[in-house]
Amino acid sequence: MQLQTETYNLSSDTSQVVFTFFSIGRKGIITKVVVYEHINENNFNLAFGDYNSVTQTIDDLSVSNNGDLSKVLATVIKTMDMFFIKHPNATIFLKGSTSTRTKLYQRIITNNAKEVEKKYKIMGIELENETNYLPIDFLKNYVQFCIKRI
């Protein structure tokens, strides 16, 4: 999947760690939220999903099927660019809420490798119980990613 350049309009908090946008597609308007959760020091976890207004939480298991996946993912990447402007020394950790989503993230990184490598250093972990991140080899599968701005 090649990412498109068109993205949704974003709103953000002043610290550039919480982003909100609206997915507009065949199932209507769905509020999406991206949160960069502080882990420690300069480390952040990227959390992403549909906003549940009843529980006021992010549903990272929801499958919207709104017909705009490329635009949604391009918007999430745009939040990463904005996040790194405010937090240039940060490290983002990324793992899908399911193995299918992790594979989707890897496919996006792989298919857009030339563009990705211009801006980011991406490392990965191949097995669940490993802790040592290695530079990604686009021919291998990973269970988690670590992203830094170059």
Element holding 113 (H helix, E strand): helix 113-119
Specify the amino acid at residue 24: I
For 43-75, how does the pLDDT look when each residue is reduced to its tens digit (9 = 90+)?
999 999 999 888 888 888 888 889 888 888 889
Average pLDDT, the chain: 88
For 92-133, how does the pLDDT look when each residue is reduced to its tens digit (9 = 90+)?
999 988 888 888 888 888 877 777 788 899 999 998 888 889
User: Do residues 71 and 62 lie in contact, with contact meaning Cβ atoms separated by under 8 Å?
Assistant: no
pLDDT of residue 118: 87
Model confidence, pTM: 0.88
pLDDT of residue 138: 81
88/115: higher pLDDT:
88
Buried b (16+ CB within 10 A) or exposed e, 84-106: beebeebbbbbbbeeeebbeebb
pLDDT of residue 32: 95
Instruction: Sketch the domain layout of the chain as residue ranges.
Output: 11-149
